[in-house]
Amino acid sequence: MKRKDIVALIIGRGNNTLKNKNILPVLNRPLLHWGALAAKSSKFIGRYYISSDCDKIFEAAEQVGFSTIKRPDELALPSAQSSDAVRHAYNIIKEETEVAILVVIHANVGTISPNMIDDCIELLQSDDSLSSVIPSHKNNEYHPYRAKRIESSGRLSNFFDFEKMKVSANRQELDSCVFFDHSFWVLDAFKGVENDNGQLPWRVMGNSILPYLTHGCFDVHSSEDLIKTENWIKNNNLEEYYRSEQLIK
């Protein structure tokens, strides 16, 4: 059942390395439409917003029924932090409506389905201790213990002091490691968004974060990623589903 206190928020700024990436065409629609359509098809989400600095992004979002929130210039810089943009928009939204759960969708991601969003909302609702549920993928190949820092000399050094810890070079012997796929975040408004002491670098996730394991989800940074996104949407039959739901023609 849709609820007005479960709110979708797309975030995306106009100044990107890949020009206009958030509105580049994917199956003849702006990229951000695919995350927006997933939110519109959710059985829980009842209100829809987008935070940006770009009129072209606003125009694309309005086509699928999202209300616009203009972010200040300092939150549209390449150095701006996504958590700050989320909180800015959240504070505006909660002046209009009560917010219990905020579903943050990244504008440059099309590999999102309504079922994924609803699964994460149901997980958050099922456990009062959770502050967020975040789509993630396992990848011990890139475990932090295997990472190296590039020094000013151009040489490599360890990020960790391995003299004080025993670490295997075999990835299968390392603790299970996940990375956020940054497709969307499902946040408890109070334990997550409003928590000033949440885990860095995304404080809005709070401190009790549950991973939701995904496969093949990614954010777009290149023209090749656009093609991969189209293939993912086709393989998951989402275009036909949104047409059957009368969200697109």
On whether residue 221 sits in a domain, the answer given is yes
Quick count: other Cβ atoms within 10 Å of Cβ 19? 8
On whether residue 149 sits in a domain, the answer given is no
Q: Output the pTM of the full model.
A: 0.95
DSSP string computed for 116-181: HHHHHHHHHHH-TT-SEEEEEEE-GGG-GGG-EEE-TTS-EEESS-GGGS---S-GGGSPP-EEE-
On whether residue 45 sits in a domain, the answer given is yes
Per DSSP, the three-state class of 61 is helix
How does pLDDT run across 80-137, given as a tens digit for each residue?
999 999 999 999 999 999 999 999 999 999 999 999 999 999 999 999 999 999 999 9
Query: Which CATH number does the domain housing residue 209 bear?
Result: 3.90.550.10
Query: In the numeric block, which tokens belong to residue 147?
Result: 């990472």
How does pLDDT run across 125-167, given as a tens digit for each residue?
999 999 999 999 999 999 999 999 999 999 999 999 888 888 8
Count of the separate structural domains present in the chain = 1
